[in-house]
Amino acid sequence: MKKVILPLAIVCLVALTQAEFMAPQSDIPAYSKTPLAKGQMLPKALTAQQLAANGVDHPAALAAYKAADRIPSVMNQQPCYCYCDRQHGHKSLHSCFEGMHGANCGTCVQEALYTYKMSKKGWTASQIRDGIIRHEFQQIDLQNPEPVK
């Protein structure tokens, strides 16, 4: 009996430890599930002057930073499918525009411009997030970005 229990215990232990590594990881990157609380502030998106000082002059990137500045709470409620949450510790799409990351990532720029466009159409943060999860942001043309006002 002891000869059976020890190997069985080992098999169970191995199976339990392997299950942790085989469990599916969420494919949806980090985002805030709620709007900003009253009085809560996010770090500012970089300004056009800060971007210019770093050599950023692409119209789509500049528009994306402007969008992040215009609707920070909505941007904060969106995931970013470049998975910068896993590589850079970002908390949401808005995080991409607090530094230079967004200027160098087409995914971030497309998502920011999509978020701004849909927000201006009256979509809620949740509706925009659903569109991003469906990868509808990929329809954004980075060569001819719509202006952000």
Q: Which two three-digit tokens encode residue 125?
A: 């943060």
Give 133: exposed, middle or buried? Use CB within 10 Å, 0-12, 13-18, 19+: middle
| pLDDT (tens place) for every residue of the chain, 149 residues total | 555 454 444 444 444 444 333 334 468 999 999 998 999 999 999 999 999 999 999 999 999 999 999 999 999 999 999 998 888 889 999 999 999 999 999 999 999 999 999 999 999 999 999 999 999 999 999 999 999 99
What whole-number distance in Å separates Cα of residue 57 and Cα of residue 1?
74
Q: Identify which of 84, 87, 89 has the alpha carbon closest to the alpha carbon of residue 107.
A: 84
CA 128 to chain centre: 12
Q: Which two three-digit tokens encode residue 59?
A: 């119209």
Going from N- to C-terminal start, the domains of the chain cover 48-139
pTM flag (> 0.85):
no
